[in-house]
Amino acid sequence: MNNSSIKYWLLAIRPKTLPAAVAPVLMGTAMAFGDGIEDVVTALVCLLTALLLQIGTNLANDYYDCQKGADTLERVGPTRVTQAGLIPPGQVKAAFIGVFALAALASICLVTRGGWPIAALASLAILSGIFYTAGHYPLGYLGLGDILVFIFFGPVAVAGTYYVQSLELNSAIIFAGFAPGLMSVAILTVNNLRDIDSDRKSGKNTLAVRFGRGFALSEYLFCVLGAGIVPVFIYMFIEDHLPLLACVLIILAVVPTIKTVLTRTEGVALNAALAATARLLLAYSVLFSIGWVL
């Protein structure tokens, strides 16, 4: 594989979106560690599985969006390798099938610990990743992407990570998952804002297309501000882990990105805002994790 091929595959897996997979696993692991549970092997398998699921979904989206005509020459987002002809469609399809197969194999280790609930969640995650853009009624084209992202990159990922390490759950763990879920939806919202015109033409009815730019801007604000105050409610509920409140600082850090999202419409600016939101999600997860362990 030459340097150009490596570059094209990196484009396809979309590294800037991967913090959405890392953040909830980091939080769930930190919460388990803070509660006296140390299972490094299981934590690493959780991280590997989450990354494979995210990469598989990105590759599937690259393939199926091209097949459905959602990716065109008018696209203002990062280059999609299938549409641009950088990688043959057959190779992209084989890649996402292979990556999802690896995710399924990795999840077997988690199923042996967590039982059928983990098997069910892993199966649903793989199916959602494929049928987000595949099939006659792709979930992302029906405007369900925001809900799916919130669930799978939020409460499911945090609680699932915690559960396979501790084999127990509580409401604080589930509620903590709201924060990465909201931040991940914020990332998706920027993506949908950027692509609103091309998505409308291709029949991809995201919430931004269905309800307009004003709704999407409000959704972004709600998600990033909501994520910032989640630790406040957790602290009020459990009256413990006071350092969690440092996460509120994310609200200040996100102000420049909010300004970009609210005032800019060009693809380059919104691409930068998407990447910045992903970095803030990762920073948030680090602050939360430290706050829980201390």
CATH number of the domain bearing residue 210: 1.10.600
- State the pLDDT at residue 2: 60
User: 217 Cβ partners below 8 Å, 6+ apart?
Assistant: 193, 261, 262
pLDDT at 275 over 90: yes
Most confident region among 147-161, 191-205, 240-254 by mean pLDDT: 147-161
Residue 187 near residue 17, CB atoms below 8 Å: yes
pLDDT for 149-174, tens place per residue? 999 999 999 999 999 999 999 999 99
**Residue range 89-96: mean pLDDT, rounded:** 95
CA distance 185 to 46: 21
CA distance 219 to 100: 30
- State the pLDDT at residue 209: 95
**Residue range 61-80: mean pLDDT, rounded:** 74
pLDDT at 234 over 80: yes
pLDDT at 115 over 70: yes
What CA dihedral angle connects 121, 124, 126 and 128, to 10 degrees? -140
Please give the share of the chain, as a percent, with pLDDT higher than 70. 96
**Residue range 216-231: mean pLDDT, rounded:** 96
- State the pLDDT at residue 135: 87
- State the pLDDT at residue 202: 82
pLDDT at 71 over 70: no
Q: Which domain holds residue 286?
A: 3-293
**Residue range 239-252: mean pLDDT, rounded:** 90
- State the pLDDT at residue 150: 97
Number of compact structural domains in the chain: 1
Residue 65 near residue 83, CB atoms below 8 Å: yes
Question: 243-266: string of b/e by CB count within 10 Å (b at 16+)?
Answer: ebeebeebeebbeebbebbeeeee
- State the pLDDT at residue 66: 84
Q: What is the pTM of this model?
A: 0.93
pLDDT for 2-13, tens place per residue? 656 888 999 899
- Label residue 217 exposed, middle or buried (CB < 10 Å: 0-12, 13-18, 19+): middle
CA distance 233 to 230: 5
- State the pLDDT at residue 1: 59
**Residue 28 structure tokens:** 């769930």
Residue 158 near residue 227, CB atoms below 8 Å: no
